[in-house]
Amino acid sequence: MSSESALSSLRLVHQCRGRARWRYGCHGRPPLDQPGLRYAIADLPGVQAVRFNPKASSLIVTFDAQVTEIQSLAEQILSLAPPPGRLTPPASPPDAVSRTRLATNLAALLGVNLLPVPLRLPLSLLMAMPVLRHGAGELFSRGLTSHVLEGMAVSISLGSGDYLAANTTSFMLELGEYLEESISRRSDDMLRELLKPASDEIWVERDGVEILVPAGEVQVGETVIVATGMVIQIDGTVLGGEAYVNEASMTGESRSVAKARGDAVMSGTVLEDGRLRIYAEHVGQRTAAARIADYVQQSLTAKSEVQLQASRLADRLVPRVLGLAGSAYLLSGDWRRAAAVLQADYSCALKLATPVAFKSAMYAAGKGGILIKGATALERLAEADTFIFDKTGTLTNGDLVVTDSITFDSAYTADDLIWLAASVEEHYFHPLAIAVVEASRNIEGRHFDHTEVEFIVAHGVASEIDGKRIVVGSRHFVEEDEGIDVSPWQETLHGLYHEGKTLLYIGYGGSLIGVLALRDTVREQSAATLARLRQSGVKRILMLTGDHHDRAQDLADRLGIDEVFAQLLPEEKASIIEQLTAEGARIAFVGDGINDAPALAGAHVGIAMQKGADIARISADIALLQDDIGRVAEARELACAAMGLIHDNYRIAIGANTAILGAAAVGLLSPIVASVLHNGTTIGILLNALRGRH
């Protein structure tokens, strides 16, 4: 029972603090995809730089010695699967092939003693050939492993003429491998499906006409059209238009960046405001976002620390099992005792049950709207003792609502202001505009007829009503660009600002006639989610925000948050997380995946809310695929349950296999019974690990 890895071996040839050079071995298939594997290695914890020298079969890795050590790093590199979508064939066979092979082994087991004696050995040898070949290969490449013991046990049974025992072992091993492959493959398939972009179509300009085409059909050199709210799916250069693009997914910078003709844009970023015509330079798998997605896919097969510990323990126990088999034979002279002991070892259960439990939990999380990018993320989530939340879009909905309509001109009522703003904003899809239009639907009023609306990117909108210019937008827009004096109402405006409200200024005929104040609302499930986190063992819950301290503290008091850090810039959030981590806290940071990218990257485990889903899939360890903060508590509970299940399976594997080995050594078990008990125990533990799927 094993899965293929990208590299067959690593031999350390030079090391110094923070740097190691290995000679690597391959599996002799098509050429190694070094760029894809380099991205995967670079994504491992603590790795700073990776370089391949294919001519010398050399791999050089620079790493942070405080985060990882050479032995652990080598084991994680060896656990990486071949990069997806390359020349290397898939490690797991199709289900139909696996089922056929399993059925053939079962038929051989049931029918071997019904065949003429001369045919029994050839049939049994044919069925055992995969086990023997695998064991011999590992003996020469890796030394003593569990597969070597399995090959020896089958060889002894074949050599002594006990074909039923040999075929029983072959069948049980095949059954266990089939279950492990099926579980892992289905879990991985679903997880990879969740990693696909939200849209697989792109707007392109062909022959002067904008058409929507499948993303895979876009060619280098074509003109791609991206509008407000869309994810940029190619790397390229702006040909025309102006827009603000949020590049947090790629650069970690939370502030939107203005883009105009000649500027470069990257895939995976979000166009927040405006419209761009882009010359496509890199498309499909050659884009920056696709390369980062390779990191994520590789993380599905990278081993966590728990898995590495289980593998190391299992490997250390192999020589002891072999020694016990030799001792049993020397003391009793009975080859059946030696064969029975060799049937039972710790490796299968310890090495297979742990990844199956992880992937089953990840599968269950995916079905529940939670994308967990690998076993390490799940393990770290269970270890976290401190949860830190961003405020806006996380503990709050992130959807603005109009709270105040304040008029500075007696000719207009508060409702008139809302309808005036809504009349010109209804064609605009900015969050502020959407909130104003929604507010107008809840009050009595009339639509104001206006001329064509002018959109001023990142400022506001302008039009004409009854021959007078109306502008709706930011203070900078109405005061500096339009020359409207707002100073007479400074005290009122200042008070609204300190209440944590966003202001929308309305100028008409050259005068400020009023402002609309908008505010975010607290999520209904926020308090319940924090309570569930405490019940799961979380010791501290904190909040980081760029908002005013008084407003942030008020929300913290309502939700029962332990400590608040307010009026922060994005880089200051990351600094606080770094400081708390240095003090020993294991932090899970929950943010929206856009303006919290530095903090998400610096935490023990980062959790991104759904409202930045395309960005979050790349920048965070865990991404919520539904806009429900309750999923944070569900992810934590699922992680704790998975780790509890892994530890239970660990104890069962050690206890059951120790008992089987002892009984086999003293002659209480035949090779057949030992094989059935050992492999049956392994299969039982695998099935127990499947509880993480529910």
The pLDDT of residue 541 is above 70: yes
Residue 678 within any structural domain of the chain: yes
pLDDT in tens, 245-258: 876 555 434 456 78
Specify whether the CB–CB gap between 175 and 679 falls below 8 A: yes
Tell which of 519, 549, 573 closes a domain.
519
Residue that the structure tokens 């869309």 belong to: 230
Residue 218 within any structural domain of the chain: yes
Catalytic residue among 43, 315, 390, 592: 390
420 with 495, same domain: the answer is yes
211 with 182, same domain: the answer is no
CB burial readout 100-119, b (16+ within 10 A) else e: ebbeebeebbeebeeeeeee
144 with 83, same domain: the answer is no
Residue that the structure tokens 């419209």 belong to: 275
The mean pLDDT of 358-383, rounded to a whole number, is 81
Residues β-bridged to residue 519: 401
pLDDT at position 57? 77
The answer to whether the predicted template modeling score (pTM) of the entire model surpasses 0.75 is no
Helix (H) or strand (E) holding 290: helix 288-299
pLDDT at position 253? 46
Residues β-bridged to residue 280: 236
127 with 74, same domain: the answer is no
239 with 282, same domain: the answer is yes
**Integer Cα distance of 183 and 250 in angstroms:** 33
pLDDT band per the 50, 70, 90 thresholds, residue 115: confident
- Quote the longest CA-to-CA distance of the chain: 109
Specify whether the CB–CB gap between 436 and 430 falls below 8 A: no
pLDDT in tens, 277-314: 999 888 876 665 565 455 445 544 555 566 666 666 76
Residue 549 within any structural domain of the chain: no
pLDDT in tens, 22-52: 888 876 544 455 666 776 787 677 787 788 8
Tell which of 88, 115, 138 closes a domain.
88
Residue that the structure tokens 């050199």 belong to: 221
Residue 243 within any structural domain of the chain: yes
Compute CA distances 611 → 152, 500, 529, 552, 591, whole Å.
56, 21, 18, 21, 10
83 with 110, same domain: the answer is no
513 with 405, same domain: the answer is yes
**Integer Cα distance of 102 and 85 in angstroms:** 28
The mean pLDDT of 310-334, rounded to a whole number, is 81
Residue 46 within any structural domain of the chain: yes
Catalytic (active site) residue 390: yes
The CATH number of the domain holding residue 47 is 3.30.70.100
Residue 323 within any structural domain of the chain: yes
The mean pLDDT of 158-177, rounded to a whole number, is 76
Which two three-digit tokens encode residue 64? 């942070």
**Integer Cα distance of 439 and 415 in angstroms:** 10
Which two three-digit tokens encode residue 460? 């506001």
Neighbours of 143 (CB within 10 A): 11
Specify whether the CB–CB gap between 202 and 212 falls below 8 A: yes
The pLDDT of residue 451 is above 80: yes
Specify whether the CB–CB gap between 511 and 542 falls below 8 A: no
Q: SS3 of 661, please?
A: helix
79 with 150, same domain: the answer is no
Q: Are strands 587-591 and 58-63 parallel, antiparallel or unpaired?
A: unpaired
409 with 486, same domain: the answer is yes
The CATH number of the domain holding residue 506 is 3.40.1110.10
Q: Are strands 587-591 and 605-608 parallel, antiparallel or unpaired?
A: parallel
CB burial readout 310-346, b (16+ within 10 A) else e: bbeebbebbeebbebbeebbeeeeebbbbbbbbbbbb
120 with 217, same domain: the answer is no
Residue 392 within any structural domain of the chain: no
pLDDT in tens, 140-165: 877 777 777 778 878 877 877 878 77
The pLDDT of residue 202 is above 60: yes
Mean pLDDT of the chain: 79
The mean pLDDT of 568-575, rounded to a whole number, is 78
The pLDDT of residue 138 is above 70: yes
Which two three-digit tokens encode residue 379? 């393990």
Specify whether the CB–CB gap between 165 and 109 falls below 8 A: no
Q: Which comes out higher in pLDDT, residue 130 or 583?
A: 583
Helix (H) or strand (E) holding 170: helix 163-194
pLDDT band per the 50, 70, 90 thresholds, residue 87: very low
- The letter for the amino acid at 609 is M
The mean pLDDT of 177-181, rounded to a whole number, is 69
The pLDDT of residue 65 is above 70: yes
Q: Which comes out higher in pLDDT, residue 531 or 136?
A: 531
pLDDT band per the 50, 70, 90 thresholds, residue 205: very high
Q: Which comes out higher in pLDDT, residue 651 or 690?
A: 651
**Integer Cα distance of 620 and 485 in angstroms:** 44
pLDDT at position 564? 93
Helix (H) or strand (E) holding 639: helix 630-665
**Integer Cα distance of 348 and 172 in angstroms:** 12
pLDDT in tens, 666-688: 989 888 888 788 877 877 877 77
The CATH number of the domain holding residue 274 is 2.70.150.10
Q: Which comes out higher in pLDDT, residue 670 or 562?
A: 562
The whole domain housing 335 covers: 95-193+297-358+641-693
Q: What percent of the chain has pLDDT over 90?
A: 20
Helix (H) or strand (E) holding 63: strand 58-63
**Integer Cα distance of 384 and 600 in angstroms:** 14
Neighbours of 584 (CB within 10 A): 8
Compute CA distances 136 → 132, 141, 344, whole Å.
6, 9, 18
Contacts of 21 (CB under 8 A, 6+ apart): 12, 13, 14, 15, 58, 59, 60, 61
The mean pLDDT of 468-472, rounded to a whole number, is 93
Q: What percent of the chain has pLDDT over 70?
A: 81
**Integer Cα distance of 245 and 256 in angstroms:** 5
Specify whether the CB–CB gap between 33 and 26 falls below 8 A: no
Q: Are strands 605-608 and 622-624 parallel, antiparallel or unpaired?
A: parallel
154 with 219, same domain: the answer is no
189 with 307, same domain: the answer is yes
The pLDDT of residue 614 is above 70: no
Rg (CA), the chain: 31
Which two three-digit tokens encode residue 224? 């791609």
Domain count, the chain: 4
Residue 556 within any structural domain of the chain: no
**Integer Cα distance of 606 and 251 in angstroms:** 16
Tell which of 501, 519, 537 closes a domain.
519
Looking at residue 465, the DSSP 8-state letter turns out to be E
Looking at residue 447, the DSSP 8-state letter turns out to be P
